[in-house]
Amino acid sequence: MNTKLITGAGLLLTLGHASPAPATIVTNGSFEEGVVLDGYRTVLAGDAFVRGWEVFGTSIDVLTSPRWTAASGVQSLDLAGTPGVGGVRQWVATEPGSSYLVRFALSRNDEGEGDKTVLFSWGSQTEQLLGGPQGSWSIVERLCVATDPATLISFASPEVGLYGGTLDDVSVTAVPAPASVFPIGIAALAARRRRRGTR
């Protein structure tokens, strides 16, 4: 997996017009669809309560405010559910060879013992990550390359326990190919130099 962070393309600034932010291709990335009214709700594997996501393993817990502070909206996920650990996964439409920025927030349920790490997977590539302490969120960004027309993205708790890593605010956005970006910026710079030369 390519884990480089994306850096800004300064040449684009010479164009004077900001490009619109690309839309995420993930469904229900902040887990707001499927409303929990109080505290948390356990969702067992195979239950379609969390729209757009498949729950696998044993279970997850959907957490809600005010007891839990989400990174986005009011709901987030504890991947070590009650009564056992699980995960969520979703197929996203991708173009082979294209790059995608995967962004998500991680924290921890520190109310009891348990493995607080989260297994993040993009296709066949997996990385084990640890978020911030309960009440704070670590933002993770990964630049990933698709090899198939559909890619499975998943997040899971790796060990047994009832208090695991927590997840929120998942997005996957296409990254413009460099060949389609930089020639525009270079042409703009060349035009500016020609104008200066005629003064």
pLDDT for 186 beyond 50: no
In this prediction, residue 20 carries a pLDDT of 59
- Per-residue confidence band for 188, with pLDDT thresholds at 50, 70 and 90: very low
Mean pLDDT of the chain: 83
pLDDT in tens, 118-158: 999 999 999 999 999 998 999 999 999 999 999 999 999 99
- Looking at the chain, the number of H-run helices and the number of E-run strands are 1, 11
DSSP bridge partners of 156: 87, 119
In this prediction, residue 177 carries a pLDDT of 77
Q: DSSP letter at 161?
A: B
- Per-residue confidence band for 115, with pLDDT thresholds at 50, 70 and 90: confident
Structural domains for the chain: 25-197 (2.60.120.260)
- Model's pTM, two decimal places? 0.79
Whole-Å CA distances, 23 to 37, 77, 175: 29, 22, 11
In this prediction, residue 38 carries a pLDDT of 86
Whole-Å CA distances, 178 to 18, 52, 96, 175: 17, 31, 16, 9
Whole-Å CA distances, 165 to 10, 122, 175, 197: 36, 18, 28, 59
pLDDT in tens, 10-68: 222 223 344 556 799 999 999 999 999 889 999 999 999 999 999 999 999 999 988 88
The C-alpha angle with vertex 33 and arms to 118 and 40, in degrees rounded to 5, equals: 60
pLDDT in tens, 87-108: 999 999 999 999 999 999 999 9
Helices assigned H by DSSP within the chain: 178-197
In this prediction, residue 195 carries a pLDDT of 52
Total number of residues shown for the chain: 199
Say if residues 172 and 92 touch (Cβ distance below 8 Å). Answer: yes
Look-up: residue for tokens 């030369």? 197
